[in-house]
Structure 1
Amino acid sequence: MFKQIFQSFGSYSLNQILPDTSKKAATVYLTIIRHRDTRTFSTITSTKKWDLYSAVCLERHPVIIQSMQEIELKFYNMLKKIEYENSLKSDHELIKENEKPKKLSSKEDETETNTLIQTIQDFEDSYQEELNNFKFASTITKFDEQDVTSTLKRKLDKNLLLLIQQRIGNSHYWIPPQGIRKEGETMRQTAERVLQDACGTKIKVKFYGNAPIGFYKYKYPKKICEQGSYGAKIFYFLAKYIDGDITNDVKYQWLDNEELEKVLPNGVQESISQFMLFN
């Protein structure tokens, strides 16, 4: 293209082609243009091939509420006090007040009133006894005590994230289920397939939308790069555990935030912590 341009300008001088430029500088510019391939001036840079992966951050939400912190407990007690002061009396409280012992005119009335008061008192005592005998179940399960991480019946008051043991290169890592995208799949379809391949068909989950919530990439070792792939780009999708069990023969764990920090590879942990919120 450049050769054609300068051939058409053959009848013009250097100063006419490159105005406001010294004769020496113009000569240098034209020499460079004539001896360089036109691809040097292209704005298109060489592209690197990345493998696209989908990964699933599968959460099990808390089964029970967490214990209140100090400030939460103070606020709760304040609201409870306000509610009590503004509330109306119950039927039981009204009956109890209206049936207080009064000056009795006869022995028969006195007996009837005492019987009624005794009945109300027995009613209250029975409820108090029932409350005293009620034992709250422990929030710590046997799986917590035995430190079994491959069950959902642990850490009932916390968010848990599913990790499976996957081989990457020559090493095994604990990471969210992930797999490479196949031709013709959307990234969401890849995520659904990856989860089913890892966990089986009996587990029920709910995906939150078609768009990924997070992203992580890493470069392959030099030997793999020489084969044509520069690295991997992983798109994380968020899903909620609904029901069912993991039926495939795969090593897996359900871990809370503190446990994840100890198990996840550093780069993956830093990436996930930017878009995952744990209780």
Structure 2
Amino acid sequence: MLRNSFQVFRLTKTSIRESSTLTSQKWDLISAVCIERRPTLAPPSTGLQENFKKYLDKVELERSHKSNHEIRHEQDLIQAEQLKKGDGDVDMALKQTAQDFFDASREELKRFKVAEKITECDKKNNVKSLNRKLDKHLVFVMKQKIGNKDHYLLPQGLRKDGENMRQAADRVIKETFGGDFKVQIHGNAPCGVYKYKYPGNLKEKQSCVGAKIFFYFGRYTNGNINKQISDYKWLDRNELKNELHNGYYERLSQFLIDEN
């Protein structure tokens, strides 16, 4: 009985020591902002969507009443019959008929050209331009040095004393892009977190065991990129997956819409 009690005491003591060690570890707290540009064009419809659209068109046609154009066309036909009999209104007959309007509209439609969805920036694969992949969500990343290596990451920065994480995120946007670049951050709470431990040499230099990155989600509204930011990209989901570190992207993808 005493032996078992002693073993329990040793286990409890060890657990307390390990717990105190974990709580004494210092982590850098970082706010990062996932800036997303929404699509400006609707993506191509799937087969299911096309079939559903045809069904809705059929139901609408079955339930619809005559349009103004159809009523006017019927009146024109009655007017034409009356003119043949010599009873019609000549002034009314000289006006543009519904059929004349239909023919003119059809000719105008033939001259109309739909703008291409593939832009010049798409053809040149200009990843710095917002005028590309107009039917996709694009996320902003910029090259940053972590340790001795360069990585493409979201705009981020260390939390300062007296700030909460949301305030740090606002400051990151302002310091990174300046006042002309507008982003609407959604919510005061982060929507994701990613943590990693520093390598040995960096751990001693930073006096921290690693970094905890708290992600905030924001929508790009308007403005231009600061000219001081030379190396950046606007990437869709597949490009983002190929560019970012696996663990980093995995946390990020948990709150991004899957477009596949």
TM-score interval, smaller chain:
0.7 to 0.9
The gaps in structure 2 that reach 5 residues or longer are: none
Partners in 2 of 1:169 and 1:104 — Cα distance?
90
The TM-score with structure 1 as length reference comes to 0.80
User: Which residues in structure 2 correspond to 1:1-279 (within 5 Å)?
Assistant: 21=1, 25=3, 42=16, 44-46=19-21, 47-100=24-77, 108-109=86-87, 115=93, 119-227=97-205, 228-250=207-229, 251-279=231-259
Partners in 2 of 1:114 and 1:52 — Cα distance?
78
SS in 2 for 1:56: strand
- CA deviations over 1:29-48 (Å, ceiling 9, x no partner): 5xxx9xx9xx7685652121
CA contact (8 A) 1:52 1:181 kept: yes
Partners in 1 of 2:148 and 2:217 — Cα distance?
28
- CA deviations over 1:159-182 (Å, ceiling 9, x no partner): 110001111001111111111111
- CA deviations over 1:136-192 (Å, ceiling 9, x no partner): 111111111111011111111111100011110011111111111111111111111
Specify the code of the residue in structure 2 equivalent to 1:66.
P
CA shift, 1:73, in A, is 1.0
SS in 1 for 2:97: helix
Change (3 A) 1:152 1:118: closer
The gaps in structure 1 that reach 5 residues or longer are: 1-20
Change (3 A) 1:124 1:180: same
The TM-score with structure 2 as length reference comes to 0.85
- CA deviations over 1:174-211 (Å, ceiling 9, x no partner): 11111111111111111111122222221011110110
CA contact (8 A) 1:225 1:231 kept: yes
Partners in 1 of 2:233 and 2:84 — Cα distance?
76
CA contact (8 A) 1:52 1:234 kept: yes
Q: CA RMSD in A?
A: 3.0
Change (3 A) 1:114 1:56: closer
CA contact (8 A) 1:198 1:248 kept: no
The alignment of Structure 1 onto Structure 2 pairs a total of residues equal to: 252
SS in 1 for 2:145: strand
What percentage of residue pairs aligned between the two structures are identical? Answer: 41
Specify the code of the residue in structure 1 equivalent to 2:113.
K
Change (3 A) 1:58 1:92: same
My pick for the range that moved more, 195-204 or 140-149, is 195-204
SS in 2 for 1:58: strand
